[in-house]
Structure 1
Amino acid sequence: TKVLRLLQTTLLTNVSSAQVFGVALLGDVPIITLDSANWTIHFLWPWAQQASSEGDMEKILSQYKIALRNLIRYMLEMAQEMQLDFPVVFQIRSGCELHPNGTSWGFIYIGKDGRDLIAFNVEKLRWEPRQTSLIAEVVSKSLTKQKGVTGLLEHLLSITCKSYILALYGYGTAVLERQEPPMAMVFTRMRSPTQLLLVCHVTGFYPRPISVAWLRDGQEVPPGLALNTTPILPNADLTYQLRSILSVTPHDGHSYACHVRHRSLGTHSLLIPWG
């Protein structure tokens, strides 16, 4: 599944001032950023700029500042109408998913101060509250009444977004479908005289999905209190890393090894023994 996400944060500092921050990501790869100072779009890859010069995207990018200005005006008016206390933060997450069978699903979620507020239902062409509050009810009804906007959103989410993903993959395949094999090492830390931590550090892999397991005497150690795996974290070079930590008793007579499987390794895997 290919996913395009546009993330926008708007900070309303008072009734006449707003700051906007934005980024677009294809999968986990940032492709576009929005300059908060002058609302200029910066393409992070040449192929992203090429894909953005085709079809609907060319028209959208020529008009986005007008749309952004209208959106901020609406936010400020709504903040005053609802008598919200400044500063107010609105977050927008929009985009679409393109599935292997060719179907797609578009989405727009709007949050306020870190909580979901409303979402756009593409099939029903209406905005729906995501929380039980007066502002969620008022904003969803207000936006649903703007039939011209809802029709445009349906087109953007159902047609334009899907076409844009295909164009981006057409130009950026080398980056988007690259594979980087993991590197792994095992080291130890003595927690106490009766507790030894075996640490398997795996880094430099791409794409993100990976399987890391500990083997005891050739058998996989099941999940439990003795096994702790960190979240998968990004590296600066657009690869990932993680650590899997197994707590054992020193000199317990067992053999241990870290087992790593990743798409880049094909049918092979890494097996790093300890000791």
Structure 2
Amino acid sequence: MKALTGLLLLVFGHGVSSVLHSKQYFYTGSSGLSTFPEFVAVGMVDGVQFEYYDSNTQREVLKQDWMEQAIREDHDYQARGTGIAQGDQQVFKADIVHLKKIFNQIGGIHIYQWMYGCEWDDEDDSTDGYEQYGYDGEDFISLDLKTLTWVAAVPQAVPITQSWNEDEADLQYLKYYHTKECVGVLKTALFYGKNTLQRTDRPRVSLLQRSPSSPVVCHATGFYPDRVVVFWRRDGQELHEQVDPGEVLPNHDGTFQVSVDLNLTAVPQEDWGRYECVVQLRGIEDISTPLDPALIRTNWEVQSGLTIPIIIGLLVLLLAAAAAVGVFVYQKRNGSDTSSENTEEQNPAPEAQPLTTVCS
């Protein structure tokens, strides 16, 4: 299944000059899972969870201290967000019934997912938006913002996309929302949480090796934000072969980590001095670590009487909702007032639109 992997992208190359900020909402509806909430809604800014709702608690919870400023300026913020989420919960429950109908399904476990959001580059002021949703771990419908059309990923979604593409007014609203309204709210959130979201945490860099024949791993951890550049160099030239880049993963404390492997199978140890790992993060000087055997931490040799284990990346799931996600998805919402950016600020999640009219 195709996922929006570009949202957390590790870029290999030189120069970290701008930060791509993002605001996202993730919704997951389920049926047939007794140990999983039938509906979960999560809001995130720059990969940091700031709002959460599920059908078990039936209330919106603010996850960041900096959101207290929003409550002070709008006392009904949480109550309004709770009401919207409760309405979306009922829509999702009905939608799953109709999706099971058009897929000719009876009983079983089913997952319906929705994602929408926007991105803003703080250097060139460019913006982008995305909407995607899916069913049972497969793409279902997505919005092509460039052509302003809904695209069906499976035959069962064609009648829905045809109906939605006929609604010109709503398509124009979606264009406005993703390029203007959502970006405005994102900038407001960045202002509220500037001490957290716009900070720079210097990475700690280690060289790791499981065994004498294993690749040497350049492991950077504890950095923020997550847009980092990590690469290996030989004789001052960036390597594109011999390397295996890893995925940027979150740490439990809100920072990030990433590992990049270097295969030295065909390299004699006397040539190791020609290699170095370079980590680049905006706001700090490049961190260069030479490939020195004395700097490599291993789990196969004892140092100072202690066996030092390899540090491996632990992916900490922010949400139970994302556990079943193969693709994050977005479902079309009812049209709402777009007269000011404060509308989205006061109503953090747009209301979902039922599929009944096109699925029944």
Query: What TM-score range do you get, normalising by the shorter chain?
Result: 0.7 to 0.9
Give the secondary structure class of the aligned counterpart of 1:255. helix
Give the secondary structure class of the aligned counterpart of 1:164. helix
Change (3 A) 1:255 1:158: closer
For residue 157 of structure 2, what is the aligned residue in structure 1?
136
Distance 2:184 2:38 in 1: 30
More strand by share: 1
| Contact kept in structure 1, 2:114 and 2:133, CA below 8 Å | yes
Q: Which runs of 5+ in 1 are unaligned?
A: none
Shift of 1:236: 1.2
**AA aligned opposite 1:35:** D
Give the secondary structure class of the aligned counterpart of 1:108. strand
For residue 28 of structure 2, what is the aligned residue in structure 1?
9
**AA aligned opposite 2:110:** V
Task: Return the TM-score normalized by structure 1.
Answer: 0.77
Distance 2:184 2:209 in 1: 50
Q: Which runs of 5+ in 2 are unaligned?
A: 1-19, 294-360
Match of 1:89 among 111, 132, 142: 111
Q: Comparing both chains, which one has the higher relative contact order based on Cα–Cα distances under 8 Å and sequence gaps of 6 or more?
A: 2
For residue 251 of structure 2, what is the aligned residue in structure 1?
235
Match of 2:130 among 103, 107, 110: 107
**AA aligned opposite 2:111:** V
- State whether structure 2 residue 227 is matched by structure 1 residue 204: no
| Contact kept in structure 2, 1:3 and 1:96, CA below 8 Å | yes
Distance 1:162 1:251 in 2: 51
- State whether structure 2 residue 188 is matched by structure 1 residue 170: no
Q: Counterparts in 2 of 1:210-221, with a 5 A limit?
A: 210-216=228-234, 218-220=235-237
For residue 49 of structure 2, what is the aligned residue in structure 1?
30
Give the secondary structure class of the aligned counterpart of 1:238. coil
Task: Return the TM-score normalized by structure 2.
Answer: 0.61
Q: Percent identity?
A: 19
- Give CA deviations for 1:144-193 in whole Å, capped at 9, x if unaligned: 577887677566545542232122111100111111111122244544xx
For residue 258 of structure 1, what is the aligned residue in structure 2?
276
Distance 1:203 1:190 in 2: 21
Give the secondary structure class of the aligned counterpart of 1:231. coil
| Contact kept in structure 2, 1:10 and 1:90, CA below 8 Å | yes
Shift of 1:12: 2.7
CA RMSD of aligned residues (A): 3.5
Change (3 A) 1:273 1:110: closer
Give the secondary structure class of the aligned counterpart of 1:6. strand
**AA aligned opposite 1:166:** K
**AA aligned opposite 1:138:** P
Distance 1:156 1:43 in 2: 23
Shift of 1:23: 1.5
Change (3 A) 1:77 1:214: closer
**AA aligned opposite 1:200:** C
Distance 1:142 1:186 in 2: 55
**AA aligned opposite 2:228:** I
| Contact kept in structure 1, 2:92 and 2:112, CA below 8 Å | no
- Give CA deviations for 1:237-275 in whole Å, capped at 9, x if unaligned: 122222333214444445144332322563443334404
After TM superposition, the structure 1 stretch with the greater mean CA deviation from structure 2, 63-72 or 146-155, is: 146-155
Shift of 1:25: 1.3
Distance 2:27 2:56 in 1: 14
Change (3 A) 1:245 1:39: same
Distance 1:177 1:58 in 2: 24
**AA aligned opposite 1:91:** Q
After TM superposition, the structure 1 stretch with the greater mean CA deviation from structure 2, 166-175 or 49-58, is: 49-58
| Contact kept in structure 2, 1:51 and 1:168, CA below 8 Å | no
| Contact kept in structure 1, 2:273 and 2:290, CA below 8 Å | no
Match of 2:288 among 254, 270, 273: 270
| Contact kept in structure 1, 2:144 and 2:151, CA below 8 Å | no
Distance 2:160 2:97 in 1: 12
